Structure 1
Amino acid sequence: MLLARAQIPLHLSGFWVPIINQDPLASGSLGAGLTLYPPALLSIYVHGQDMCNTMVNGKCFDFSNHLRSIERFLGVRGRGVGIKCYSRGELGEGLGLSAALSIAYAIGLLVKSGASISLNKAGTAAHYAEVVNMTGLGDVIAEIRGGGLVARVSPGPPGVGDIDSFPIRERVRVAVTSVGSLTTPKMLVEGLHKQFVEGFKAYENFIRNPSLESFLINAYTFSRRTGMLSSSLDEALKDKLKGLIGSGCV
């Protein structure tokens, strides 16, 4: 039985200032990112007990930690509730897909419980799950409230945190490729201090001149200074893209 359908944009964060508090709802990040379209298409439904409860692009994933976190927060049992998702992105690519899945699941549980659908309530539950599982600090509020170029100006979920959106006039396409694996929990634990210092520099620079060009420049600098973009990878990318860079396409 279908409970709900949702279309949720993905989110690519360029730089961030991690803010981690004992209270997950006071945790989050400052920073900026791009919301990406076409959106992820999600269906939340009631299924048999022996079926996979999280399907992404036809593949089954163990998303149980997030699902249980959302159930605890909302006080709703989710037994038999599953998600099917079609997306241009995959889990683990840094595109905020776990946030989109969490938002959709929270919406499904609200429908199942007979409660009114509140995006703030669903977003708060999803943000809680993202923070306690260390898989994201700002994707939820950007995906629910943002559009275009999104600045996270106060940490927290919708209704607690705050954002500002800057519509993009240019026609922009984002190309994504996987060159290695670094999980969000590992990234946050191992590079927390450097991300805080360099993220705050990037954030301050961007807020003084919020534009797509400023976002890209500060995201590049942040990636280099935090070690997420190595010298060898930087040179390899520049070599591959030099024709496009020269023509102004990148």
Structure 2
Amino acid sequence: MLIRAFIPAHITAFFVPRFNENPLFAGSLGAGINLTKGTNVFVSIESGLERHIHVAFNGEPVKKEQAFISYSVAEEIIPQEFEGDVEIWQYFDFPNGHGFGNSAGGALGTALALGYYFKNKTFLQAAQIAHKHEVLNKGGLGDVIAQVHGGIEIRIKAGAPGIGVVDNIFSEEYKVLTIPLGRLSTREVLDSDVVKAIEKEGQKALGKLLKNPTPENLMHLARDFAENTGLLNGELLEIAKEIDKLIKLPSSMVMLGKSLFALLREEELPRVQEKLRDLSIDNYPICGIYNEKPKVGRWIG
């Protein structure tokens, strides 16, 4: 039996890290957007004489240290007495390390697919396991709970799904322009001095968004956060300024990755696409906003 889980890619617009010795109570405040592109996880399980777990990214097998979070999730959910082969195939619509929640998508997709197969975890329990291993291994703080809720989300209480609190912003049909340009280590940023600026600016942005919870206000606050923390700079900032000349709302930086995003109206797309071609940028997925929960179930191809 083949199980498939779809987890939306997630863009964090701004955030406030909340650390806790208990990983289920750690997480982040902030806001972000879930996308119609994301991570598809396929799990195939066959009984055998020995226990083996295999993980592959986009069809290529990876070593345990390259997918430690997903391996950790699998080891916790697969029953101890199980013997056989567990193959976990993760396919990402966005490149790894660019800020689109791939780590959380792989962890959550693995947890949901295995929980579905073995029938030993609820949806919420599986999601909490994914969150726990994301936090313990510094893959991210708030992506899992955001992906569980979908839509344009506001994280107003930190923690794992079922502990943290998430609200959603009502929105019209915006398209989401994404421009993945490079990798940025979440672990390195969270371990650096910039965390103090992130906490200050993120708390300020959250307060302003809760007073005026609109997609338009989100984008203005996201840009202020990105610039005031110093995270948006150099070439990334110059590209953002070029895009801003052509659209109504400001673009901003994906947290945390060397990537940009913007909310566009349909009529703004052609001008932006022409500008990106002029800038020799040819990888810019255009997505919708994903307003549902992650999907999991039997896969019949």
Q: Same fold (TM over 0.5)?
A: yes
Matching residue's letter, 2:110: Y
How far apart in 1 are the matches of 2:162 and 2:27?
13
Partner of 2:44: 45
Partner of 1:22 in structure 2?
Answer: 21
The answer for the alignment partner of 1:83 in structure 2 is 88
Residue of 138, 141, 152 corresponding to 1:137:
141
The residue type paired with residue 121 of structure 1 is Q
* Number of residue pairs matched by the alignment: 246
Partner residue in 2 for 1:54: 55
- Give 1:145's aligned amino acid: H
Q: Deviations over 1:205-239 (max 9, x none)?
A: 11111111111111111111111101553234323
Mapped to 2, the partners of 1:53 and 1:68 lie a distance apart of 8
RCO higher in structure (CA 8 A, sep ≥6)? 2
Query: What is the DSSP-based 3-state SS (H/G/I as helix, E as strand, rest coil) of the residue aligned with 1:25?
Result: coil
Distance 1:61 1:213, change over 3 A: farther
If each structure's helix is expressed as a fraction of its own residues, which one has the higher value? 1
1:123 is matched with which residue?
A: 127
Scaled by the length of structure 1, the TM-score of the pair is 0.86
Q: Does the 8 A contact of 2:55 with 2:71 survive in 1?
A: no
Structure 2 residue runs of 5 or longer lacking an equivalent are: 250-263, 273-301
CA displacement at 1:70 relative to structure 2: 2.1
Indicate the percent of aligned positions where both proteins have the same amino acid: 31
1:193 Cα deviation from its structure 2 partner: 1.6
| CA distance, structure 1, for counterparts of residue 134 and residue 164 of structure 2 | 15
Q: CA deviation at 1:198?
A: 1.1
Change (3 A) 1:232 1:65: closer
Residue segments in structure 1 that go unaligned for 5+ positions in a row: none
Contact kept in structure 2, 1:119 and 1:144, CA below 8 Å: no
Is residue 189 from structure 1 mapped to residue 194 from structure 2 by the alignment? no
TM-score relative to the length of structure 2: 0.72
CA distance in 2, matches of 1:176, 1:52: 34
* CA pair 42-70 structure 1, distance change in 2 beyond 3 A: closer
Matches within 5 A, 1:101-250: 101-115=106-120, 117-147=121-151, 149-178=152-181, 180-190=182-192, 191-230=194-233, 232-239=235-242, 242-244=245-247, 249=268
Q: Whole-Å Cα distance in 2 between the matches of residues 88 and 64 of structure 1? A: 17
Q: Give the 3-state SS of the residue equivalent to 2:132 in structure 1.
A: helix
C-alpha spacing 1:70/1:52, structure 2 compared with 1 (3 Å): closer
The answer on whether the counterparts of 2:5 and 2:42 sit within 8 Å (CA) in structure 1 is yes
Measure how far apart 1:188 and its partner are.
Answer: 1.0
Contact 1:151 1:163 in 2 (8 A): yes
What is the CA–CA distance in structure 2 between the aligned matches of 1:73 and 1:27, rounded to whole Å? 19
> Cα distance, 1:166 vs. partner?
1.6
* CA distance in 1 between partners of 2:172 and 2:153 (Å): 14
